[in-house]
Structure 1
Amino acid sequence: MALNLHRAYQLRGYRAWLAVGRKTSDNPSVLLIPNDDYRNLWVKTWFRVRDFVAAWEFGPSTKTLYRLFHQIGRLGEPSRLLDRWRGREDFHFPGTRHLLDTLPQQPNIVHCHNLHGGYFDLQALPWLSRQVPVILTLHDMWLLTGHCAHSFACERWKTGCGNCPDLSIPPVVKRDATAQNWHRKREVYRKSRLHIATPSRWLMDKVKDSMLMEGAVECRVIPNGVDLSVFQPAADRREARASLGLPQEAKILLFTANTIRGNIWKDYAMLRAAVMKVAESLKQRQLLFVALGEEAPPEQTGEARIVFIPFQQDTRVVARYYQAADLYIHAARADTFPNTVLEALACGTPVAATAVGGIPEQVKGLRLTPDTGKPIGPEFNAYTPEEATGILVRQGDAVAMAEAVVTLLKDKELRQRLGENAARDARERFDLNKQVEAYLAWYEELAQARNTGKH
């Protein structure tokens, strides 16, 4: 999302840079935060050896040597190792305070996205927000908690964390220093002046119940958007299937995520169970479940075939999968405002999803009435067929997910209507251009306020 915004600003003629912890391209406007440049001599020496080894292409032995030299280098930062051993979150990134020095000129705005990727010193926020207006866009709950990106049912983050019920939720910590982490973040926010953005009202409600509000100057909900020139309805679904080598006559269900089976935020077990139930209901019909985002052998479960497709870099290829599918199904245990759902809607593909996080703000759930032979849907299924863009079910309910999928697969007219609604709703609410314009207008306000001494 940050990269999408960055590119859009440049296309509009703005000077924009993207500062990252790990650079993988030769794009001159993408700048590496110089953390390693400001570490001690021991660390810098061994990290240079590590990076030299990384240029080799000798297979597994290269990776082993890389990790070895990386660990030897880390011995030069005993306080960092001790923090990690104690369960304290890692803020040892000295290049953060030299961030503005890496830019060709002083920026009008610094817009921060996910800061827990192992590259940014959160303790630099008070300093940074005194130099230039800082917008902080949350994509998960990490800034509100003692370590986790999503708390699931736990609400200890409201009162200070401690006695953490699950240290294995990413970002993982070794020991329970969650209360200390929580209070350390709180002190950072108290000294900062932050303009807070979230893509969903659901996450903004979390922000308003958190210690982050102690550093908030203002808050805005700005929904994510997708590139509608790429993600758009197929002119010919048969052609889309042919281009991907997918069977023409099959009912195709699509799900996409990073490392689908082992992704803690998704619910592959529920999806698999739902697909099996769908196959039982649609006997004598070919059912194909495409799992996009992981490489694995195919599976056959009764009449249903599950195929795994590796992560695709080309967004136009990704759009083809949405265009080729009859339905997009999204089973999540926790989610903020998943772009995959927006991409499906924009491609005119109805969505069956679990109603967690901000997903009910994306999908207009079809209200299932007794006329359809189904029970009236829960509170998040409130739309008529003239408005709905999909069906929402409770988290973990494989039976309800299967019923939703079967309902739409059996009723071609309803499925097509929801698909048309989805594409129209995406144009109205989830155009990347709208997100870009909303942020640019905010930048302009902040820049003007700073010029008049109001920042």
Structure 2
Amino acid sequence: MRVLALSTTDWRGGAARVAHYLTQGLRDRGIHADLLVATKTSDADFVQTIDAPPAPRRGLKRRVVQRLGYGALNLLSPNGPVAFDPARLADYDVVHLHDVPPVSLLDLVRRLDKPIVWTVHSMAPLTGNCVYPYGCDRWMRRCGSCPQFGQWPLIYQARDASAEILTARRLAYGRMRFQAVGVSQWITDRIAESVMGGQPRHTVQNPSWRPDYYPTDRAAARAALGIPDDAFAVMVSVSGNALDLRKGLDITAAATREIRATWPDADRLFLLPTGIVPPDGDMAALLRDIPGLPPRMIEDTATLRRYYTAADVVWHPSRADTSSMVSLEAFGCGTPVIAAAVGGVPEIVRDGVSGLLIPPDDPAALVTATRRLIRDPALMDRLRAGALATARDHNPDRFIDAYLAIYQKAGAFPSPSKDIP
């Protein structure tokens, strides 16, 4: 079996890392697998870049697409003809798409004539516009009058085309045959309710990648990062834009302000913010006057492992998530997580076992849960043990075995018709 995975990037973001880990794991089993991306940031030799000519930055077609609000369909992407060149595809038995691949929807239907597996990491492939609908259920029927129109990340759209985009997805998916995979049972259930609902469905939870995330010496990790001996270190994940509130950076800031205002030992709190950090300084401004390290984008796993190991707990107050790679990475290093009970997160973070669950959008609950851990060392020890046990349950072998079984099922399907009226 020969597998070609397609992702926007090969490392930045949870979906990219899952694609990377799976490709690496398949190759470790002796299976020929490659990862094809629009943007490469790792040095892995199995990652190929599409290397298509750049999309037009101006011109009539560009203006028309922008004016109509059809950007989510990637209609002007030049990647499809290169990625799905018949000479390239001839070398593979299965094509594995991750989230919204960096090709146009039309190219997916017209050019991709191979058995397909499609892993859904967010709700973007299921909606007309948004990455997460935040309580809106129009994606289940017909989008339109999008409540997120004009908000991040949709602030650059000239027109709300969510109804047309969802219709286009419905038509395209109806002309395709693929194995749809959710990274949690929660998102698999959403797939069943969506325009993808006619496809065979599976659930494969993401792995805790043991080769990268495992327990190391905690005292040494803290010393290397300059964390005071008596500090209670909290690792938090930040987004690439201060306007993007999905990961709850504003909740983190509110919780830390409450701690500093009400705790007599508030100076013990020490933040370790990591993630895709923008260069404009907005992230640092939100966390100003809070003891800790500056926000940092960490690309190498050795440094990221040191952060996870050094932290007493990871805060994950996300407003929406299909799963939680941050939690699985932390668990591999034996660090518990305080997380908002949204989406597929409770399938990973088990309350009182590997971490603590709190209501979404609730800084006060985050503060209370943190204080509970500080005051109860026995609970902290149990959660650390539970975190490691959860990581073992989400081991790479189970993850790879599950996808190999799905690839076999995908290969049993005849090629569908590619005709589009």
List aligned pairs for 1:29-428, cutoff 5 A.
29-36=46-53, 73-76=56-59, 78-89=60-71, 90-98=74-82, 99-101=84-86, 103=88, 105-115=90-100, 119-128=102-111, 131-167=113-149, 168-170=151-153, 173-214=157-198, 216=199, 218-234=200-216, 236-259=217-240, 261-279=242-260, 280-283=262-265, 286-293=268-275, 294=277, 297=284, 301=289, 305-366=291-352, 388-428=353-393
CA contact (8 A) 2:178 2:410 kept: no
Q: Quote the Cα distance in structure 2 between the aligned partners of 1:288 and 1:25.
A: 30
Identity within the alignment, %:
29
- Normalised to the residue count of structure 1, the TM-score between the two structures is 0.79
Which residue identity lines up with residue 357 of structure 2 in the other structure? L
Change (3 A) 1:79 1:124: same
Question: What SS does the aligned partner of 2:196 have?
Answer: helix
Alignment RMSD: 2.4
Q: Which amino acid aligns with 1:142?
A: A
Name which of 31, 41, 59 aligns with 1:14: 31
CA offset digits 1:151-198 (Å, max 9, x no partner): 112111111101111123435532111111111111101111121001
Structure with the bigger RCO (C-alpha within 8 Å, sep 6+) is 2
Task: Pick closer, same or farther for the CA change 1:105–1:28 going to 2, 3 Å.
Answer: farther
Change in 2 beyond 3 A, CA 1:197/1:250? same
> What are the superposed Cα offsets for residues 26-50 of structure 1, whole Å, 9 maximum, x if unpaired?
75543333542xxxxxxxxxx5xxx
| TM-fit CA distance, 1:362 | 0.7
- Note the C-alpha offset of 1:128: 4.7
State the SS of the aligned residue for 2:234.
strand
Q: 1:352 to 1:260 in 2, by over 3 A?
A: farther
Q: Deviations over 1:321-369 (max 9, x none)?
A: 1111111111111112121111112211111111111111111112xxx
1:165–1:258: structure 2 CA closer, same or farther, 3 Å change rule? closer
Q: Which moved more, 1:7-16 or 1:327-336?
A: 7-16
- 8 A Cα contact 1:147 1:173, kept in partner: no
Q: What SS class does the counterpart of residue 291 from structure 2 fall into?
A: strand
Take 1:350 and 1:416, find their aligned partners in 2: how far apart are those partners?
9
Give the CA deviation at 1:94: 4.2
**Structure 1 residue 256, shift from structure 2 partner:** 2.1
Report what 1:60 is aligned to.
Answer: none
Q: Confirm whether residue 4 of structure 1 aligns to residue 31 of structure 2.
A: no
Q: Distance in 1 between matches of 2:179 and 2:105?
A: 15
Q: How far did 1:284 drift?
A: 6.5
Rounded Cα–Cα distance in structure 1 between residues aligned with 2:159 and 2:145: 10
User: What residue in structure 1 maps to residue 6 of structure 2?
Assistant: none
Question: Is residue 446 of structure 1 aligned with residue 414 of structure 2?
Answer: no
Instruction: State how far apart, in whole Å, the 1-side matches of 2:266 and 2:342 are.
Output: 33
Determine the C-alpha separation between the residues in 2 that align with 1:34 and 1:325. 40
Give the TM-score, by structure 2 length: 0.85
- What is the deviation of 1:261? 4.3
Deviations 1:235-284 (A, max 9, x none): x3111101222212211111123437443311112112212333423527
Partner of 2:3: none
Contact persistence 1:260–1:291 (CA under 8 A) = no
Q: Which has the larger radius of gyration?
A: 1
Checking the alignment, whether the CA contact within 8 Å between 2:152 and 2:244 is kept in structure 1 is no
Q: Are residues 250 and 146 of structure 1, via their aligned partners in 2, closer, same or farther at CA, if it must alter by over 3 Å? A: same
What is the SS of the residue equivalent to 2:244? coil
Aligned-partner Cα distance in 1 for 2:241–2:258: 20
Change (3 A) 1:121 1:284: closer
Structure 2 counterpart SS, 1:6: helix
Q: Distance in 2 between matches of 1:356 and 1:347?
A: 23
Separation in structure 1 between the aligned mates of residue 269 and residue 78 of structure 2, nearest angstrom: 53
Q: Determine helix, strand or coil for the equivalent of 1:125.
A: helix
CA distance in 2 between counterparts of 1:4 and 1:194 reads 21
Q: Unaligned stretches of 5+ in structure 1?
A: 37-46, 48-69, 367-387
